[in-house]
């Protein structure tokens, strides 16, 4: 179950989220079950984030830090992970994985 306070901060934009994360580190922020379709998270520090069962269709994660993030049963249809840091991320059971863009992503 997601933490609604963290969801609200993230939906305010990357600069607000990164500033919050810099000052108040949250270990494994849980965004499970949320709909982030079409949002732009370019350059976001989402290290260890949990996106299980999320709708991430058309979400932009270009250059995002997603080290150890979890995308279990997440719909990543047409999501953009260009140059994203996906080291140790769990993508194996994400939905529409073949339609996502992983150009120059770090695994």
Structure confidence by residue, pLDDT tens digits, 69-86:
999 999 999 999 999 999
What share of the chain in percent tops pLDDT 70? Answer: 99
Total number of domains constituting the chain? 1
Q: Model pTM?
A: 0.94
pLDDT score for 2: 75
pLDDT score for 89: 98
Structure confidence by residue, pLDDT tens digits, 25-48:
889 999 999 999 999 999 999 999
How far, in Å, are 103, 104 from residue 50 at the CA level? 22, 22
Q: Is 31 exposed, middle or buried (0-12, 13-18, 19+ CB in 10 A)?
A: buried
**Phi first, then psi: what are they for 27, rounded to 5°?**
-75, 125
Give the pLDDT mean for 40-64. Answer: 98
* 93: CATH: 2.160.20.80
Residue span of the structural domain in which 8 resides: 1-107
């Amino acid at each position: 179950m997601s933490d609604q306070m963290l969801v609200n901060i993230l939906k305010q934009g990357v600069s607000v989220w990164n500033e919050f994360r810099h000052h108040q580190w949250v270990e494994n922020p849980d965004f499970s079950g949320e709909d982030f379709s079409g949002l732009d998270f370019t350059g976001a520090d989402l290290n260890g984030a949990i996106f299980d069962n999320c709708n991430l269709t058309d979400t932009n994660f270009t250059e995002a830090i997603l080290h150890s993030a979890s995308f279990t049963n997440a719909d990543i249809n047409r999501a953009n992970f260009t140059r994203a840091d996906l080291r140790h991320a769990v993508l194996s059971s994400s939905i529409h994985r073949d339609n996502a863009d992983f150009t120059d992503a770090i695994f």
